[in-house]
Structure 1
Amino acid sequence: MLIQFRKLTTSDQPLQFHQTVDVSNAVKDRKDILAVQPLDVDLTATASVSGTVDVRGRLQGELEMNCSRCLKPISEHVHIPFHEVFQPVEDPESIQDENDDTTYVQGESVDLTPYVEEAFLLHLPLAPVCKADCKGLCPNCGKDLNEGTCDCDTEVIDPRLAGLKDFFK
């Protein structure tokens, strides 16, 4: 997905991208993601009078993750909004405005694939759950508490008062 700035600015029409992008390399080191399907990418790149290129659209995909509480596999469909503004410059290091949302690019073209991968990674759920009221696993025996209770002692005793535990026995 390559945007050529000169070609886009001379064209009257915006540039459309309707592709699939394989993001499996971006998540290969993540142990919580079991499988990921290629993302469906629908983007529109529009050149402005000020020389910037505005890229907007959406990303969609399916991924299989582990529930962060009970570790069961869950399938999740993600809808990700995408928006980036690119500005071609001679020297991107000379730009001082760090609060600007514009991405300064050196050269005549920019590949959108790393930006698509970044948007995907930023929109992944931090703690995916299979259901909102998932009880998770017992911290002592490891039993799935969604399937029933366990026989573990859940009484919590303040360690400062542990010596008094057997006082009345």
Structure 2
Amino acid sequence: MQFHMQEWMAKGLKATVQEKLDVSELFKGRADVLAAGPLHVSLEVAGHEGFVTASGELSIDLDLACSRCLDKVEEHTVIPYFEQFKLASAEEKDEGPEADENDEFVEVPTERLDLRPFLEEAVLVFMPFAPLCSKDCKGLCQSCGENLNERACDCKHEVIDPRFAALKDLFKD
């Protein structure tokens, strides 16, 4: 998904992009992502005077580990996408990253606009932070590791304030 910026801006070109991208490499080595389906891209890319816009939506099916009990959670995520790109001038390249923090444009340093890294970034930003298998998930026992959703364990869950832990043995004979 690469576009020649000057050509798109000068001619005001428009195109609809419908693609499936393999993003499995994006989640390689992550224990919280068990499986990832292809990223479905549905975008309208248009050239304007001085910038190029990409708008539409992305969708992906993810199998994640529950943040409490580690069971599989199936998530279908739909991500609205809108981004405006412009070519970075020589002066803007010298100013550094602080100058463009509040800009509404993403500056592209080369003539070629590759949308893939921007789409991958959107997927990572919109991923659920702490997925849960259910709202009332009890998680795992801290002592024995038993899944408390499946059965209760026999561990003692006595909570003692660590500041008073030395006092608990004071009255023992």
- Indicate whether the TM-score tops 0.5: yes
State the partner residue of 1:28: 28
Query: Does the Cα contact within 8 Å between 1:8 and 1:15 map onto a contact in 2?
Result: no
The residue type equivalent to 1:87 in the other structure is K
Q: CA deviation at 1:7?
A: 3.1
The residue type equivalent to 2:17 in the other structure is F
Moved more, 96-105 or 145-154: 96-105
Moved runs in structure 1, 4+ residues, more than 6 A?
none
Q: CA deviation at 1:13?
A: 5.1
Q: CA deviation at 1:72?
A: 0.8
Cα distance between partner residues in 1 of 2:101 and 2:10? 29
Secondary structure of the residue that 2:80 maps to in structure 1?
strand
Q: CA 1:160 to 1:105, structure 2 compared with 1: closer, same or farther past 3 Å?
A: closer
Structure 2 residues not aligned, in runs of 5+: none
Q: CA 1:82 to 1:164, structure 2 compared with 1: closer, same or farther past 3 Å?
A: same
Q: CA deviation at 1:84?
A: 1.3
Q: CA deviation at 1:73?
A: 1.3
State the partner residue of 1:4: 4
Query: Does the Cα contact within 8 Å between 1:85 and 1:102 map onto a contact in 2?
Result: yes
Query: Does the Cα contact within 8 Å between 2:9 and 2:51 map onto a contact in 1?
Result: no
1:77 aligns with 2:76: yes
Structure-to-structure mapping, 1:96-115, within 5 angstroms: 96-115=99-118
Q: Deviations for 1:33-92, whole angstroms, at most 9, x for unmatched residues?
A: 11111111001112233x111111111111111111101112111111112110013435
State the partner residue of 2:134: 131
More helix by share: 2
The residue type equivalent to 2:51 in the other structure is T
Structure 1 residues not aligned, in runs of 5+: none
Q: CA deviation at 1:149?
A: 1.7
Q: Deviations for 1:87-122, whole angstroms, at most 9, x for unmatched residues?
A: 013435135333113111133220101111111111
Cα distance between partner residues in 2 of 1:151 and 1:117? 45
Q: Percent of aligned positions with the same letter in both sequences?
A: 42
The residue type equivalent to 1:152 in the other structure is C
State the partner residue of 1:17: 17
- Aligned Cα RMSD in Å? 1.9
Secondary structure of the residue that 2:62 maps to in structure 1?
strand
State the partner residue of 1:39: 39
Secondary structure of the residue that 2:27 maps to in structure 1?
coil
Query: Does the Cα contact within 8 Å between 1:90 and 1:107 map onto a contact in 2?
Result: no
Q: CA deviation at 1:168?
A: 7.2
Moved more, 7-16 or 78-87: 7-16
Query: Does the Cα contact within 8 Å between 2:12 and 2:48 map onto a contact in 1?
Result: no
Q: CA deviation at 1:147?
A: 1.5
